[in-house]
Structure 1
Amino acid sequence: MTDLHLESGGDDDGPAVLFLHGSGASGAVWKPVLERLRERGTRYRWLVADLPGHGRSGHREDYSPEGYAGAVSTALAGVLGENASLNVVGHSLGGMVGMTIADGTYGVTVESLTVIAMKVSWTGEELARRAATADRPVRIFPGEEEARELFGRVSGLRGPAFTDEDRAGGITARDGGYALSGDPGIAKAGPATGPELAARMRKVTCPVELACGDHDPGIEPADLARVLGHPVTVLPGAGHNVHIERPGLIADLVERALGR
């Protein structure tokens, strides 16, 4: 059993694609990409997870890459059965989780791995801000609307592509009001260092594509390529949340991974 929220749809007889979101978000961020693929008539089965401590999934003690990967793999087995075969698309934190699942030790055969906008180096200031987030008191709002609005800002679920229902997946009733459902404790686990990420990528045996937006303020394509050992596809006109800003470009990567 698992308390991880996992949704699926599309063509049950097509190749499976697992989408993993970034830190502080939820699986709803993939909605624009799924819509582009639907419009194109792409034949595949999609699976979208809310990672542990995020969205509609439960909180855990272990937010290590292995903790995330184990929870996701257990949920996948419940949907796809043992020895599942699938393609993985991960954004930021989701990319690291995808790398971990793709090392062959979780009972999942990963046919391809697409890693989008994964940060490989951190400044001291960035690490301090991250640590402060873990200790910050949880904000309680009297109404749902304010909590939904905050989650929209944190996750990127803003604009006409997303609804109040999408944003409601990231809030919960608490102490007579409403708060973000995400676990602040996810920030207590320090981000993986460059050497750690490089070691994880060396264990991946499937085809890999790295990508990032050309306006992503926290990622240098050359650094991403150097640390992870693969060329980087630079996506034009996009910042960190490429899947929201330019979903058609991510749909292109998915179809390329599927050989379409």
Structure 2
Amino acid sequence: MVHVARGGDGPLLVLLHGLGATGSVWRGAAETWPGAWLAVDLPGHGRSAPAARYSFGSLAASVAAAVGSGPVAVLGHSLGGVVALTLASGWFGVDVRAVGGLGVKLRWTPEELARAAALAAKPARVFPTREEASAWASKLAGVPVADGVTETGGGWRAALDPAAFGVGEPDVAGLLAVAKAPVVLAAGETDPMCPPEHLLAARADGLVLPGVGHNAHVERPASVKPVLDRLHGALVS
């Protein structure tokens, strides 16, 4: 089971965070959605249990079990964006009517993949205080995550399961090809993980969000409104 937070009423938006973060990073953006929303803590993150194995399919299956039936729009950031696209394939039984990926890393080097694999093999760091663990968790996520820590026998650690770093390289082009719903890809104007040139090479209709970086939904929640508008239009049409 994964932890979810819910709010609002009306057309449902499912929100998926990036690696190391939790569903709470969507709080500001969720408030601008004209309907109901559901924010998930992915397996191995926040208040959700770790997974036996991390793959985009296993993460999507966990989210699908929490979402249930009924038409939805899905918006994911970074890792969550790949999971959102995986759900839009139709392979997991979720009735996805619109899907969005924000800041999805589209190009990987062998060195980047090797670094991720090395991080996945390391044990979690344990700190004597919650504050120190929270600072480390926020560094891993790239955004403040006050709810991203857990207590252990010897102190506190980031709730992120390090093994999640080993999820591997996504086949974004393949997922775009099989998506059974309208797709919106977006990235911040200064996003180093998904520069505008990478975004627009993958999708000519990609949305470049001015004045924000990789974590646009946290840096300035209102900046993702064009993404939400497109998703809402597709969901209710």
Q: Note whether the superposition's TM-score is higher than 0.5.
A: yes
Query: Is 1:32 aligned to residue 32 of structure 2?
Result: no
Who is 2:96 aligned against?
110
Whether the 8 Å CA contact 1:24–1:54 is kept in 2: the answer is yes
Letter paired with 2:232: L
Unaligned runs of 5+ in 1: 78-82, 159-165
Q: Aligned in 2, Cα 1:251/1:60: closer, same or farther, shift over 3 Å?
A: same
Whether the 8 Å CA contact 1:9–1:45 is kept in 2: the answer is yes
Who is 1:163 aligned against?
none
Supply the distance in 2 between the matched residues of 1:183 and 1:212 (Cα, whole angstroms).
26
Supply the distance in 2 between the matched residues of 1:137 and 1:106 (Cα, whole angstroms).
31
**Structure 1 moving runs of 4+ over 4 Å:** none
Q: Write out aligned runs for 1:66-215 (5 A).
A: 66-77=57-68, 83-158=69-144, 167=146, 169-192=147-170, 196-215=171-190
Supply the distance in 1 between the matched residues of 2:142 and 2:24 (Cα, whole angstroms).
10
From 3, 6, 9, the equivalent of 1:5 is: 3
Residue 48 of structure 1: CA displacement? 0.1
Supply the distance in 2 between the matched residues of 1:56 and 1:140 (Cα, whole angstroms).
17
Supply the distance in 1 between the matched residues of 2:180 and 2:72 (Cα, whole angstroms).
14
TM-score w.r.t. length of structure 1 = 0.84
Whether the 8 Å CA contact 2:56–2:167 is kept in 1: the answer is no
TM-score w.r.t. length of structure 2 = 0.92
Supply the distance in 2 between the matched residues of 1:65 and 1:225 (Cα, whole angstroms).
23
3-state DSSP of counterpart to 1:258: helix
3-state DSSP of counterpart to 2:127: coil
Query: Is 1:21 aligned to residue 17 of structure 2?
Result: yes
Whether the 8 Å CA contact 1:4–1:56 is kept in 2: the answer is yes
Letter paired with 1:22: G
3-state DSSP of counterpart to 2:126: coil
3-state DSSP of counterpart to 2:89: coil
Letter paired with 2:76: G
Residue 205 of structure 1: CA displacement? 2.2
Whether the 8 Å CA contact 2:184–2:230 is kept in 1: the answer is no
Residue 60 of structure 1: CA displacement? 1.0
Whether the 8 Å CA contact 1:19–1:89 is kept in 2: the answer is yes
Supply the distance in 2 between the matched residues of 1:189 and 1:9 (Cα, whole angstroms).
30
Whether the 8 Å CA contact 1:84–1:107 is kept in 2: the answer is no
Q: Aligned in 2, Cα 1:136/1:90: closer, same or farther, shift over 3 Å?
A: same
Letter paired with 1:220: P
Identity %: 40
Letter paired with 2:141: S
3-state DSSP of counterpart to 1:59: coil
Supply the distance in 2 between the matched residues of 1:6 and 1:115 (Cα, whole angstroms).
19
Unaligned runs of 5+ in 2: none
3-state DSSP of counterpart to 1:60: coil
Who is 2:206 aligned against?
232
Letter paired with 2:186: A
User: Is 234-243 or 197-206 further displaced after alignment?
Assistant: 197-206
Supply the distance in 1 between the matched residues of 2:48 and 2:166 (Cα, whole angstroms).
18
RMSD over aligned CA atoms reads: 1.7
3-state DSSP of counterpart to 1:111: strand
From 20, 38, 48, the equivalent of 1:47 is: 38
Residue 125 of structure 1: CA displacement? 2.6
Supply the distance in 2 between the matched residues of 1:154 and 1:62 (Cα, whole angstroms).
20
